[in-house]
Structure 1
Amino acid sequence: MISRRVHNVVFSLGIVLLLGTVAVPAQAESGFAPVDRPGPELSVPPEELQAALSCHGDPGSDQQPVLLSPATSVTPEQNYSWTYAKAFTAQDRFWCVVTMPEHTMGDIQVAGEHLVHAIREVHRLTGKRIAVLGHSQGGMSMRWALRFWPDLRPMVDDVIGMAPSNHGTDAMPLCGPGPNSCEPAVWQQQAGAEFMRALNSRAETFAGISYTVVYTRHDEVVTPPESAELHTGDGSISNVATQDVCATNTSTHLIVGTTDPVTYALVTDALDHPGPAEPDRVDPSVCAQPLMPHVDPASVNTYLQPLQAIPGLASTALPGVNLVGAPSVDREPQLRCYVYAAGC
């Protein structure tokens, strides 16, 4: 059992989104913005948006380009440098990463603006429709950009979430005022948060985009695990549990977004074929692999084991005290005016 004094900081790879429930005013479905209303001007300074984006490889590569979005509380280096970045480099695939403010623990509406800029820029650099791939918060947050900036939709071919927090989590309800305050991204990833209501309003998916959701039935962070799934809208959707491919797969939330070979096989399938991933195309031999390709076993000691050693998959700072990242707050951040039907 995790003590109430175990809370957020460094290296939790989205684990801090375990925390919290909060009562917020209900907003009728019709109260949210129409799905086709043009998005607002970005409030983050352009130089900050550009500095947050880092790209690698040949933008003229024949491979579909990928934008990588990190999980709560980590940087792209911690999340991807030893896994998918190496794999995509070996594939001669052009890939980019976006570093979110406040260690990916701040207001996801601000992270969404970073993704708006990054999607536009990667599309501009390559001239291709791109894939956006992310873990946990990073597997959900691109959907905020697509929901409220419809000009992005023709630029994106694939949305791929690895254990994404698409409908929040009902685990560990500890967030509250005073000593139980949490970081903004933690509040926003609770089941029932106003952020989640806005994100999933009117339509979860959009025509012309393929959505692949890979999750594990052993997820202890995004709970229930099926809350990762997408169902509404006009996009092509594939919701796949790793156990649908390999019945004995034991991957947890952390493993799905890092070293799991089944997840990697599904991600690659989605990137290499039209439409979302199809589990029937995955070679059953993947079930016998201990790690996804291109992961150096030594990296597991460097990156993964410290994360697994955190008690109860929570990080270890006192409530209300965050050593890196966003300051803790007593309530969920207010939704921006563009979210509502009344607009700004």
Structure 2
Amino acid sequence: MFSLPGLTRSLTLLCSITQVFGTPIDTRSDITDYFSSVESDLKSLTVQTAPSTIEDAFSKLQSILDGKNLTLVETATQLISAGLSSLTWDGVVSYIDGLESGLASSSNVNSREPSVAVYPSASTGDAPYSFSEDELRSALYIPGNFTYGVSGAPQPILLVGGTGNPGYVTFVGTYIKLLQNEETSFGDPVWLNIPGYELDDLQKNAEFVAYAINYLSNICGNRSIAVMGYSQGNLDSQWAYKYWPSTRAHVTDHVAFSPGYRGTELTQIIKWVPQPPAWLQALYDSDFVLATRANGGDSSYVPTTVIYSLTDEVVQPQFGDGASSPLKDAHGAGVTNVRVQDACPGQVAGSFYTHEGIPYNPLAYALARDAVLNDGTGQLSRLDLTSICGNYLAPTLTLEDFLLTENTAVVAAVLTLLYDGKSTTEPAIADYAK
């Protein structure tokens, strides 16, 4: 699936590029030369000494990103140079190669058969799948100590990752650790490693979410599950809830970290530069986003707790009526929309949090836990904000976990550049959604 791209296949992902470093970019040769330079810079970097404290790490991260409009490649380069990522270009390639046969594999053997067929359809109202059942099932990674929802066991939780990352890489520094740690666990995690690292068509990615919800609930004795999504994982899930309505009855809660339910205005596309489909669909009010939000898709289908940041460097805008992350509640399923700066004003947990930073934010953890352990959505009124807002990280997370999570931006940059199958046009909306 991956090949080294030609220079004209490079892309800008996160910012307007009318100017870069003060130099106007007006021609194809200008942009070719620019991307050749930044890709070369990324490949040449070596691992730097990491910050020694979490306070220093946060300070360095803010100095890199605050007020800047960096491309994904520029962000990755800055993270490596500041010691905020332990991965370089070659490190990403080796890291992913080492995980693909295990924790980040999309070729897993899940031999438990559902008691009632969930394929080719769990309900007559569901959209058709374009993948085989084996393909859909094998993307689900189930840890060896998973309890399958037996009596007295924690609730099963499905983790759905973000663009350019396997599910494992997305959550290894946050909710895989938090949910597998007896001190901080409130559920039993499994995760999706969607083929193509979620760079393919989001409509196809959503099929894996829809199947996983119905399959996982069934093999857990028809016990309802919770779903926790990061970034694109929330759009995938919302599409699944909308067009595979059978899934809704099997989900007690959806927790959305840094979602872009309206897409992002920071992803400014040069139309003649080929892109992975997922980045084209991430545009603010893209065809995919508009189809998702139409006919009630801008509202929650299951109880949904949304946690996001004003200083998200990927998804913008995050203020006003056009804010990208919040959902409405037209269906009455229940929604809590929380921007961390509003809930913890002037405090550490409400300070500069990036797109990838919300999963390690302590308020996000507290709301997720509250949502899963109680009926309905997470509620600030049930939380001790005085103690929560004074922390940088969720309980038990460390500087090492922070750095693991910052690695996700570098992984996404490298895998995006290596992605084969870029296009200049967004995938067509499926017939079932028209």
1:165 to 256, 260, 269: 260
How far apart are residue 174 of structure 1 and its match?
2.4
2:248 to 111, 132, 153: 153
Contact 2:165 2:408 in 1 (8 A): no
Q: Which amino acid aligns with 1:192?
A: D
Q: What is residue 335 of structure 1 aligned with on the other side?
A: 429
Query: Map of 1:248-259 to 2, 5 A cutoff?
Result: 248=346, 249-250=350-351, 251-257=353-359, 259=360
Sequence identity of aligned pairs in percent?
26
* Structure 2 residue 46 is matched with structure 1 residue 46: no
Q: Which amino acid aligns with 2:207?
A: E
How far apart are residue 75 of structure 1 and its match?
1.1
Question: 1-side partners of 2:291 and 2:300: how far apart?
Answer: 19
What SS does the aligned partner of 2:356 have? helix
Query: Map of 1:234-273 to 2, 5 A cutoff?
Result: 234=331, 235-248=333-346, 249-250=350-351, 251-257=353-359, 259-273=360-374
2:200 to 106, 111, 123: 106
Q: What is residue 147 of structure 2 aligned with on the other side?
A: 58
Q: What is residue 140 of structure 1 aligned with on the other side?
A: 235
Question: 1-side partners of 2:379 and 2:133: how far apart?
Answer: 38
Question: 2-side partners of 1:208 and 1:164: how far apart?
Answer: 15
* Structure 2 residue 226 is matched with structure 1 residue 131: yes
Question: 2-side partners of 1:289 and 1:188: how far apart?
Answer: 35
Contact 1:116 1:145 in 2 (8 A): yes
* RMSD between aligned residues: 2.9
2:296 to 189, 203, 227: 203
Superposition TM-score, scaled by structure 2 size: 0.65
Question: 1-side partners of 2:153 and 2:178: how far apart?
Answer: 16
Question: 2-side partners of 1:205 and 1:174: how far apart?
Answer: 24
Closer, same or farther: CA 326–264 of 1 in aligned 2, 3 Å = farther
Deviations along 1:165-211, whole A, 9 cap, x unmatched?
A: 1111111412412xx22110011111121111111111136787201
Closer, same or farther: CA 316–115 of 1 in aligned 2, 3 Å = closer
How far apart are residue 132 of structure 1 and its match?
0.9
Q: Which amino acid aligns with 2:130?
A: S
| Paired residues, number | 307
What SS does the aligned partner of 1:288 have? coil
Q: Which amino acid aligns with 1:241?
A: R
Question: 2-side partners of 1:106 and 1:208: how far apart?
Answer: 24
- Listed as ranges, the gaps of 5+ residues in structure 2 are 1-14, 21-30, 43-70, 73-122
Q: What is residue 4 of structure 2 aligned with on the other side?
A: none
Q: Which amino acid aligns with 1:278?
A: Q
Q: What is residue 229 of structure 1 aligned with on the other side?
A: 326
Closer, same or farther: CA 326–70 of 1 in aligned 2, 3 Å = farther
Q: What is residue 186 of structure 1 aligned with on the other side?
A: 279
Closer, same or farther: CA 207–297 of 1 in aligned 2, 3 Å = closer
Closer, same or farther: CA 68–175 of 1 in aligned 2, 3 Å = farther
Question: 2-side partners of 1:316 and 1:63: how far apart?
Answer: 36
Superposition TM-score, scaled by structure 1 size: 0.81
